[in-house]
Copies of this chain bind each other. A is one copy, B any other.
């Protein structure tokens, strides 16, 4: 890719990708920006603008080729490649993520979970092993790990994040309610702040009640 695409556009891409995937499932081969606009509740001009960032996928009076657009956006999002994931924390949240088979369809493959709880030793989640934390270093040496998902309490998340970077893992997907302050600024961190999302909700509730 030559051109730098704005983060705002990038943030909208997964939603396009999801809708195009649904269209493919329905057997739709072509779609006009107007029809896509109607489905997605976004203006047609916004869609044309967004997709023009990636070159002219559409042709006037012809619409978008759904498969082609889906594949191209997939490439941009990096979901055409396989990413190996380990999950630190094999509690409910770690297991929920591991059970979410949809991720695998997007190329995100969970290869192991890690926990400190000896009661979980030797167990697995749909065949994916739960290992003990003292096995982490050895595992990372013998396996290619692209992403570490952290479903740990925040103090543990902070300590482990730095250690993971030392083990050569450069992308972290974290649910811990803390900003990981890593010295290595090249590490990619994506936060899922569930409380922030709930607060966004309560803000909108309060706002509506004031109307």
Contacts and interface: CB of A to CB of B under 8 A. Distances in A.
Contact of A96 (B1, B76, B92): B92
A168 interface: no
6 A-B pairs with the lowest CB-CB distances in the bound complex, closest first:
A78-B206, A92-B96, A78-B202, A14-B196, A93-B96, A190-B201
Given A14-B200, A147-B201, A200-B11, A97 B194 contact: yes
A72 interface: no
A83 to B, nearest CB: 6
A100 B89 CA distance: 14
A18 B199 CA distance: 11
This chain: how many copies in the complex? Answer: 2
A193 B11 CA distance: 11
Interface residues of A, number: 58
Interface string A4-34: 0000001101110110000000000000000
Nearest to A17: B199
Interface stretch (A101-109, A112-120, A132-140, A158-166): A101-109
Given A92-B96, A194-B97, A194-B100, A13 B208 contact: no
Interface in A160-211: 170-171, 173, 177, 179, 186, 188, 190, 192-208, 210
B203 A76 contact: yes
